[in-house]
């Protein structure tokens, strides 16, 4: 008896019982469901929730693969700075790939195992089918955390994010907060020393710092990000090319802007990600960057100010440093937590970009506010849609009165 037949037998055996959702999920995940609609259907389409989730994962895979190589590259480049002289030649190597697999893949495994276990548990307890929503969240989480985050911390955060960020609202499609960003926020506020600073972005940096503190005669590994350097008014050692291609320290999946743009093209072409939200987020970020550049150019703030470094960054460079582009493409476009009206999407995205750069500049201790901005606007998205709809209703009522007058 093959695996498909065994799963089908178990599915029929436990039909109507507590464990039915678990066996149904395994059968549906591995094989095409054999149920057909017996009544009439209103809409026929080739896409469903699983295909939608798989498309998003497809758009994330290039960032994951690049992040694996980059984890190894940043580790070895920190030990031997001469490797940075020719990043492309020293990037796609077996040593980098192996080191990256040993550090990044455990994050992916813990994210999926723990997250899906919580999903299965809630499905069995509540007696509903296992939903595919966590397939994307499970891939996003490893891409938005530092490479050396302890696995037990990640597991605790995933449990918190899935339960508090989604299940308490009713599951996939009912949550008001992006689950992946809820997990990121929990990690940042619960374990801040593992989520910021210059010792968390490069594999081995924290261990080397501890060895030095204990008196060992070893070289330190510094993994300062570009945002961290700007926030401390330090010289940035990475070129614009490095920033764009992604040969820089940072969260696992956020560094390569060219691959994020490729992912955006996939999401827009498949009509899963809203181009209105993506472009309005970038416009909002550029607008806030221009405002800060104007403040610096007018001499209203001096070089001695704590905010000068990030205020003086050319406005367009904000898009290739930090995670604003990753957030705009993969986080802000979440169809469940984002605005649903076309006009609302423009307002929603613009405010995300505006607030992201605002937090980035005025919080030198943690110069990255994209996840906070998106979570904030997740809360206000229904309000934005409400007023957009009310505005449309008022316009139509005025037109109706004119016609009947």
- Shared domain for 268 and 372, answered yes or no, is no
- Shared domain for 217 and 195, answered yes or no, is yes
- Which positions ≥6 away from 68 have C-beta within 8 Å? 97, 100, 101, 104, 105
Average pLDDT over residues 134-146: 92
Longest CA–CA separation in the chain, Å:
88
- Shared domain for 254 and 335, answered yes or no, is no
In a domain? residue 64: yes
In a domain? residue 387: yes
State pLDDT tens for residues 24-67: 655 555 555 556 666 665 666 666 667 788 899 999 999 999 99
Write the DSSP symbol of residue 323: T
Cα 270 from Cα 114, distance rounded (Å):
29
In a domain? residue 12: no
Give the chain's domain count. Answer: 2
In a domain? residue 15: no
Helix axes 179-190 and 370-404, enclosed angle (nearest 10): 140
- Which positions ≥6 away from 103 have C-beta within 8 Å? 71, 72, 147, 148, 203
Structure tokens given for 310: 């990030």
- Shared domain for 100 and 114, answered yes or no, is yes
Cβ of 182: how many Cβ atoms within 10 Å?
A: 24
In a domain? residue 131: yes
Higher pLDDT, 106 or 397: 106
Which residues form the domain of 310? 274-405
Listed residues 272, 305, 330: the one ending a domain: 272
In a domain? residue 2: no
- Shared domain for 186 and 134, answered yes or no, is yes
- Shared domain for 93 and 238, answered yes or no, is yes
Listed residues 272, 306, 335: the one ending a domain: 272
Average pLDDT over residues 214-235: 70
- Shared domain for 159 and 225, answered yes or no, is yes
- Shared domain for 188 and 262, answered yes or no, is yes
In a domain? residue 55: yes
* Cβ-contact 372, 359 below 8 angstroms: yes
- Shared domain for 258 and 279, answered yes or no, is no
Listed residues 237, 272, 307: the one ending a domain: 272
Inform me whether the pLDDT recorded for 277 exceeds 80.
yes
Q: Of the given ranges (117-121, 241-245, 257-261), which has the lowest mean pLDDT? A: 117-121
Q: Assign 285 a pLDDT band (cuts: 50, 70, 90).
A: very high
- Shared domain for 378 and 303, answered yes or no, is yes
- Shared domain for 257 and 402, answered yes or no, is no
State pLDDT tens for residues 325-373: 999 999 999 988 999 999 999 999 999 999 999 998 888 666 678 999 9
In a domain? residue 27: no
- Shared domain for 281 and 392, answered yes or no, is yes
């Amino acid at each position: 008896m093959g695996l498909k037949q065994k799963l089908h037998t178990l599915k029929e055996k436990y039909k109507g019982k507590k464990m039915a959702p678990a066996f149904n999920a395994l059968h549906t995940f591995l094989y095409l469901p054999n149920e057909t609609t017996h009544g009439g259907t209103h809409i026929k389409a080739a896409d469903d929730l699983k295909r939608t989730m798989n498309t998003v994962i497809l758009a994330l895979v290039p960032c994951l693969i690049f992040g694996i190589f980059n984890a190894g590259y940043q580790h070895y480049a920190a030990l031997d700075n001469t490797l940075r002289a020719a990043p492309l030649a020293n990037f796609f190597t077996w040593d980098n790939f192996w080191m990256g697999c040993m550090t990044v893949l455990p994050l992916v495994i813990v994210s999926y195992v723990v997250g899906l276990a919580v999903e299965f548990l809630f499905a069995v307890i509540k007696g509903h089918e296992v939903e595919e929503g966590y397939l994307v969240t499970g891939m996003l989480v490893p891409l938005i955390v530092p490479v050396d985050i302890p696995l037990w911390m990640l597991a605790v955060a995933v449990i918190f994010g899935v339960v508090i960020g989604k299940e308490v609202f009713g599951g996939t499609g009912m949550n008001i907060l992006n689950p992946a960003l809820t997990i990121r926020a929990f990690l940042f506020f619960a374990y801040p020393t593992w989520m910021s600073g210059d010792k968390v972005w490069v594999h081995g940096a924290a261990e080397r710092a501890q060895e030095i503190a204990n008196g060992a005669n070893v070289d330190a590994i510094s993994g300062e990000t570009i945002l961290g350097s700007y926030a401390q008014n330090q010289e940035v050692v990475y070129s614009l090319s490095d920033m764009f291609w992604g040969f820089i320290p940072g969260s696992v999946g956020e560094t390569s802007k060219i691959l994020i743009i490729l992912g955006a093209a996939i999401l827009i072409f498949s009509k899963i990600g809203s181009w209105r939200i993506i472009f309005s987020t970038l416009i909002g970020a550029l607008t806030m960057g221009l405002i800060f550049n104007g403040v610096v150019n007018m001499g209203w703030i001096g070089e001695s100010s704590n905010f000068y470094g990030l205020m003086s960054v050319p406005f367009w460079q904000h898009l290739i440093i930090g995670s604003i582009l990753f957030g705009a493409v993969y986080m802000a476009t979440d169809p469940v937590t984002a605005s649903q009206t076309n006009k609302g999407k423009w307002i929603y995205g613009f405010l995300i970009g505006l607030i992201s750069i605002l937090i980035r500049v005025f919080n030198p201790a943690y110069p990255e506010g994209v996840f906070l901005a998106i979570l904030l606007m997740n809360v206000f998205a229904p309000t934005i849609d409400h007023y957009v709809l009310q505005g449309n209703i008022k316009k139509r009522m005025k037109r109706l009165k004119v016609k009947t007058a």
